[in-house]
């Protein structure tokens, strides 16, 4: 086949045939198609899009570029969750052991943070001894014995996606919904789960800023999962305000442990339980233990401890704490009516909790601790944020990010709590 003909065909609005899609993905993965040629094809897809059959085949070809895991003989159904990323989004941490404690197996393949959104693996690596990379056999054994795994995807899983993702990042084609959907779903389908729940964030702190675009992405991903035999549903959830009261690696682990112990911020608890119930329903575990009961009886915490120990971590070890703190106080007395999720995420990133490049190191103790959220009454001079950093010189740029991030109105101002879960797609 001639890649130039395929580029021209897609540029002009034609539908790519199955054989052409299979060939172009395989050839690019093998290094037989030049980066500039695949860049041109991605840009054509960005502007023209892919039909549903094209997208199904494109995703299938990405899956076929590597191995596809399977987990027979576990004695429990598999189910997983994927979030499109937000600020303070530590939900995977309490969610995975809760769902495992309710009888499912959760093969949770996660990633690292980039920019203002945190990465699940970075958070867990703040636990002494915990390791993100495990073999497929270790993963199967842990799923059988513990029911819960959070780990890095192996190099053999959808290698086409790794190459395409890096290329999209430098060619301004990241925002294409077909390319986003195929990137996410190729890895999730290849990991071998039988059911998948998607948490599609929408708002100022999310990748998808508008509800319409978030719904389009959710619908596209649900369609892909269903077409490839994975029972898939999606929740659209709000990300204008950070989730919980922390943004930062060890800070978020500590907050997750509060949830597993029966406490924690109400929004984190609400979303964790909602996603857990969706995951259990998606894999057919209805009528059994409720996720709230798994927290109350301690079995979710037991599952967490077993999961951490199985990957070399010490669940009793103290979490890292940054040596420097700086307090940001309320400028007035009244009701907090807005807290900008993006501003908080950027501040945490600038404090050292995130990375600008994939190869950068992160500070496990750095981040932002919130002392009030929208709806709370504060007094002038009371703390709104505590900033944590390993290096005091990072505070100024973090403070710049937080300038104007919070609105405070009169204490008797009208305010109603916005919905956290906006809508459900699929199922």
Residues 6+ apart with CB under 8 A from 169: none
| 135 closest CA partner among 119, 104, 156 | 156
CATH number, position 30: 1.20.970.10
User: Can you tell me the distance from the alpha carbon of 164 to that of 153, in angstroms, rounded to the nearest whole number?
Assistant: 16
User: Can you tell me the distance from the alpha carbon of 337 to that of 149, in angstroms, rounded to the nearest whole number?
Assistant: 38
- pLDDT range class, residue 346, cuts 50, 70, 90: very high
- Tens digits of per-residue pLDDT, 8-33? 999 999 999 999 999 999 999 999 99
pLDDT given for residue 257 in this prediction? 98
| Domain hosting residue 404, numbered range | 324-409
Is residue 73 one of the residues assigned to a domain?
Answer: no
pLDDT at 357 over 80: no
- Claim to verify: residue 260 and residue 403 sit in the same structural domain: no
**Which entry of 89, 161, 240, 340 is annotated as an active-site residue?**
161
- Claim to verify: residue 233 and residue 357 sit in the same structural domain: no
Annotated catalytic residue 83: no
Q: What is the mean pLDDT of the chain?
A: 96
Does residue 123 contact residue 249 with C-beta atoms inside 8 Å? yes
The pTM for the full model equals 0.96
User: Can you tell me the distance from the alpha carbon of 160 to that of 180, in angstroms, rounded to the nearest whole number?
Assistant: 13
CATH number, position 361: 3.90.1170.30
**Which entry of 116, 162, 187, 201 is annotated as an active-site residue?**
187
**Which entry of 81, 82, 140, 373 is annotated as an active-site residue?**
82
- pLDDT range class, residue 246, cuts 50, 70, 90: very high
- Claim to verify: residue 264 and residue 371 sit in the same structural domain: no
- Claim to verify: residue 177 and residue 32 sit in the same structural domain: no
- Claim to verify: residue 308 and residue 360 sit in the same structural domain: no
Is residue 71 one of the residues assigned to a domain?
Answer: no
Annotated catalytic residue 168: yes
Annotated catalytic residue 201: no
Our count of domains for the chain comes to 3
- Claim to verify: residue 269 and residue 343 sit in the same structural domain: no
**Which entry of 10, 81, 112, 168 is annotated as an active-site residue?**
168
Is residue 21 one of the residues assigned to a domain?
Answer: yes
pLDDT given for residue 47 in this prediction? 97
- Claim to verify: residue 93 and residue 185 sit in the same structural domain: yes
**Which entry of 126, 182, 183, 303 is annotated as an active-site residue?**
183
- Claim to verify: residue 163 and residue 301 sit in the same structural domain: yes
Annotated catalytic residue 161: yes
Per-residue DSSP letter, 156 = T
Is residue 25 one of the residues assigned to a domain?
Answer: yes
Residue 174 structure tokens: 């990241």
């Amino acid at each position: 086949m001639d890649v130039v003909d395929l580029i021209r065909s897609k540029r002009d609005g034609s539908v790519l045939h199955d054989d052409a899609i299979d060939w172009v993905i395989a050839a690019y993965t093998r290094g037989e198609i030049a980066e500039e040629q695949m860049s041109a094809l991605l840009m054509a897809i960005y502007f023209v899009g892919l039909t549903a059959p094209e997208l199904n085949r494109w995703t299938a070809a990405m899956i076929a570029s590597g191995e596809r895991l399977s987990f027979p003989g576990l004695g429990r159904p598999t189910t997983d969750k994927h979030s499109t990323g937000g600020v303070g989004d530590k939900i995977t941490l309490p969610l995975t052991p809760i769902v495992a404690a309710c009888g499912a197996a959760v093969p949770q393949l996660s990633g690292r943070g980039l920019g203002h959104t945190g990465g699940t693996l970075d958070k867990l690596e703040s636990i002494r001894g915990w390791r993100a990379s495990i073999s497929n056999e270790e993963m199967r054994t842990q799923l059988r014995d513990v029911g819960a795994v959070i780990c890095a995807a192996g190099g053999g899983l959808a290698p086409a996606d790794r190459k395409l993702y890096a290329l999209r990042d430098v060619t301004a084609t990241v925002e294409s919904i077909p390319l986003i959907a195929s990137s996410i779903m190729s890895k999730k389908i290849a990991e071998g789960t039988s059911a998948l729940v998607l948490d599609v964030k929408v708002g100022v702190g999310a990748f998808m800023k508008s509800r319409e675009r978030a719904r389009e992405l959710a619908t596209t991903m649900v369609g892909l999962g269903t077409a490839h035999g994975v029972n898939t549903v999606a929740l659209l959830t709000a990300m204008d305000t950070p989730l919980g009261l922390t943004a930062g690696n060890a800070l978020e682990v500590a907050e997750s442990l509060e949830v597993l112990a029966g406490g924690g911020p109400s929004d984190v608890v609400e979303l964790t339980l909602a996603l857990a119930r969706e995951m259990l329903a998606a894999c057919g575990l209805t009528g059994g233990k409720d996720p709230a009961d798994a927290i109350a009886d301690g079995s979710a915490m037991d599952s967490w401890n077993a999961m951490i120990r199985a990957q070399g971590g010490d669940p009793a070890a103290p979490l890292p704490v940054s040596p420097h703190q700086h307090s940001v106080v309320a400028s007035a007395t009244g009701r907090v009516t807005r807290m900008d999720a993006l501003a908080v995420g950027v501040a945490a990133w600038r404090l050292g909790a995130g990375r600008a490049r994939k190869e950068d190191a992160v500070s496990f103790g750095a981040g932002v601790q919130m002392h009030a959220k929208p709806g709370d009454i504060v007094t002038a001079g009371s703390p709104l944020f505590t900033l944590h950093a390993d290096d005091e010189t990072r505070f100024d740029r973090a403070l710049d990010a937080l300038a104007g991030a919070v609105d405070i109105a009169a204490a008797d101002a009208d305010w109603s709590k916005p919905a956290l879960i906006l809508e459900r797609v699929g199922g």
